[in-house]
Amino acid sequence: MSLIWLFAILLALAVAGYWMTRRRAMTSAGGDVRKLHSLPNYYGMNAAMLSLAPALIVLFVWLLAQPLLVDATVTRMIPDEAIPDASNRGLVMSDVRRVSNGLDALVDAGRMSAQEARDLSTDSDDIRASMAEVGVALGSDVRPEVLRAAQRYRLLTGRGDLARNVIVVLIALAGAGLAYRRTTHEFRARNAVERGMSLLLLGAASIAILTTIGIVLSMLTETGRFFSQYPWTEFFFSTNWQPRFGGGSDLGFLPLLWGTLYISIIALIVAVPVGLFSAIYLSEYATGRIRAVAKPMIEILAGIPTIVYGLFALITVGPLLRDWFAQPLGLGNSGSSVMTAGLVMGIMLIPFVSSLSDDIINAVPQSLRDGSFGLGATKSETIRQVILPAALPGIVGAVLLAASRAIGETMIVVLGAGASARMDLNPFEAMTTITVKIVSQLTGDTDFNSPETLVAFALGLTLFVLTLGLNVFALYIVRRYREQYE
């Protein structure tokens, strides 16, 4: 019985439980809905919930645990001597699983009875050929100990699946039965459903949290491996970034951090005032007609893929800045520069800042504007002294979101600022950022054991800490402000 069928049965049980419990509730109230503690639906929902939720949880855990347990048992059947020199235990085990699947396929195709599959031996048949006919390709002939392990594997998995199906269905039945038994007209089904809902939402929230923790943990282990091969003082304090794939690299991250911050700050200097002012114009000054045209136009900017901005930087802005500013001022003659990437990234962020701030400013109640106008304040006084302070927490949030995006941006930097790691004050010099270097350390034929590739994880973790720090800072500002005013 496949999983789909199991799901169908569970669903059918839940639906049946729903209707039966609902009916029982109605009967216990003598058909009068007003005598029930909760609406009849709630009794039904309670039954459906009690039958589905525990069964699905058990099923989920079982699906995760069974392969691990079966693997652990079967792997003991393969002696160390049986593992070929060029191979390892993992590869042999994946052979075992493939052969086991092949046996399943043979039985499904009707070429073999279940008994024959159990008794099959390498002496009598050409297993590789018959499996190829049912679409399971094997790399070599099947060795006897692999076949035996596969048969065992198949047996255990089959039994496990059967036990799983039976247990899950029993649990579902028990849940529905419990709900059915408990249903009287006094039972507080509504509260039970409410509790169930809150658990469901809690579950959803914990998935997000657990994923984050998982990502951080995996980054941490890889970073740990990196630091076991490369001194951390060098990584954090060296101002030299020169990876050499032959070994003996310099992997100081300061030039990358500098490039990241420099470019992001230029981008924010462009994006924040322009974005904020355009939001203020749109929400406070523009007439309905201008707004109807201008707002979608600005939002189109947000839909342009960053690679297109990158091309714009490479082909237009870069040469322009070089020919009109850098060269006349004697600040170098590099086409790609921090300034180019920063300006173009700033343009990319304008709609981001503007549409977030616009929503926030619009959310300030009209009554505050009226209050201020009613005291004889002008529009700009009202904006500066009433609306912006009221909207400040949201605007700070918008700016910090924009900053996070700037720090994480890659494409515009590659095309606009180049890929050379350098620490320089001159904004017309080519520099690069952490994200660009993560990409370049991981592209190509890589071996995930050398510090040159592992450094990508250390860089990634640094980036993570950087944005985390930014968010904590934002929260701090917002909270301080709230304490003062709300």
Partner 1 sequence: MKDGRLEERDTTMQDTKIKASNVQVYYGDNHAIKDVDVEIKDKTVTAFIGPSGCGKSTFLRCLNRMNDTIDVARIEGKILIDDEDIYDRKVDPVQLRAKVGMVFQKPNPFPKSIYDNVAYGPKIHGLAKNKADLDDIVENALRRGAIWDEVKDRLHAPGTGLSGGQQQRLCIARAVATEPEILLMDEPCSALDPIATDQVENLIHELRENYSVVIVTHSMQQAARVSQKTAFFHLGNLVEYGTTDQIFQNPHDSRTESYITGRIG
- The amino acid at residue 101 is N
Residue with smaller CB distance to partner 1, 89 or 384: 384
User: Which of 83, 377, 470, 477 forms a contact with partner 1 (CB under 8 A)?
Assistant: 377
Among the listed ranges 21-29, 385-393, 404-412, 433-441, the one in contact with partner 1 (CB under 8 A) is 385-393
Quick check: 486 binds partner 1 (CB under 8 A)? Answer: yes
Quick check: 362 binds partner 1 (CB under 8 A)? Answer: no
Quick check: 372 binds partner 1 (CB under 8 A)? Answer: yes
Quick check: 246 binds partner 1 (CB under 8 A)? Answer: no
Site for partner 1 in 442-481 (CB under 8 A): none
User: Which of 115, 233, 367, 443 forms a contact with partner 1 (CB under 8 A)?
Assistant: 367
Would residue 238 be called left, alpha or beta, if left means φ above 0 and alpha means ψ between -120 and 50 degrees? Answer: beta
d(CA 139, CA 141): 7
Residue with smaller CB distance to partner 1, 369 or 422: 369
User: Which of 28, 369, 439, 442 forms a contact with partner 1 (CB under 8 A)?
Assistant: 369
Residue with smaller CB distance to partner 1, 56 or 294: 294
Q: Which helix (H) or strand (E) is 478 found in, with range?
A: helix 451-485
Instruction: Name which of 267, 262, 254 is nearest 403 in CA terms.
Output: 267
What spatial distance separates the first Cα and last Cα of the chain, rounded to whole Å?
60
Residue with smaller CB distance to partner 1, 110 or 376: 376
Among the listed ranges 55-63, 362-370, 412-420, 425-433, the one in contact with partner 1 (CB under 8 A) is 362-370
Quick check: 375 binds partner 1 (CB under 8 A)? Answer: yes
Quick check: 373 binds partner 1 (CB under 8 A)? Answer: yes
Report DSSP letters for 5-21, one per residue: HHHHHHHHHHHHHHHHH
Residue with smaller CB distance to partner 1, 9 or 294: 294
Among the listed ranges 45-53, 340-348, 377-385, 470-478, the one in contact with partner 1 (CB under 8 A) is 377-385
Q: What are the distances in angstroms from CA 297 to CA 214, 226, 277, 302, 362?
A: 40, 46, 16, 9, 19
Quick check: 385 binds partner 1 (CB under 8 A)? Answer: yes
- The amino acid at residue 176 is A
Instruction: Name which of 421, 425, 432 is nearest 260 in CA terms.
Output: 432
Q: How many residues bind partner 1 (CB under 8 A)?
A: 23
Among the listed ranges 93-101, 228-236, 289-297, 384-392, the one in contact with partner 1 (CB under 8 A) is 384-392
Site for partner 1 in 389-408 (CB under 8 A): 389-390
User: Which of 135, 246, 288, 444 forms a contact with partner 1 (CB under 8 A)?
Assistant: 288
d(CA 363, CA 391): 8
Quick check: 285 binds partner 1 (CB under 8 A)? Answer: no
- The amino acid at residue 388 is L
User: Which of 212, 239, 378, 449 forms a contact with partner 1 (CB under 8 A)?
Assistant: 378
Q: How many helices (H) and strands (E) would you count in the chain?
A: 19, 2
Q: Which helix (H) or strand (E) is 388 found in, with range?
A: helix 388-408
Quick check: 80 binds partner 1 (CB under 8 A)? Answer: no
Report DSSP letters for 211-272, one per residue: HHHHHHHHHHHHHHHHHHHS-HHHHHH---EE--TTS--EE--HHHHHHHHHHHHHHHHHHH
Closest approach, Cβ 25 to partner 1, in A, equals 43
Looking at 322-387, list the stretches that DSSP marks H as alpha helix, in order from N- to C-terminal side: 338-362, 366-374, 379-382
Q: Classify residue 263 as exposed, middle or buried by CB count within 10 Å of its CB (0-12, 13-18, 19+).
A: buried
User: Which of 374, 425, 445, 447 forms a contact with partner 1 (CB under 8 A)?
Assistant: 374
Quick check: 133 binds partner 1 (CB under 8 A)? Answer: no
Closest approach, Cβ 371 to partner 1, in A, equals 4
* Beta-carbon contacts of residue 478 (< 8 Å; ≥ 6 apart): 393, 396, 397
Closest approach, Cβ 364 to partner 1, in A, equals 9
User: Which of 141, 194, 323, 370 forms a contact with partner 1 (CB under 8 A)?
Assistant: 370
Residue with smaller CB distance to partner 1, 393 or 418: 393
* Contact residues: partner 1, CB under 8 A: 288, 365-378, 381, 385-386, 389-390, 484-486
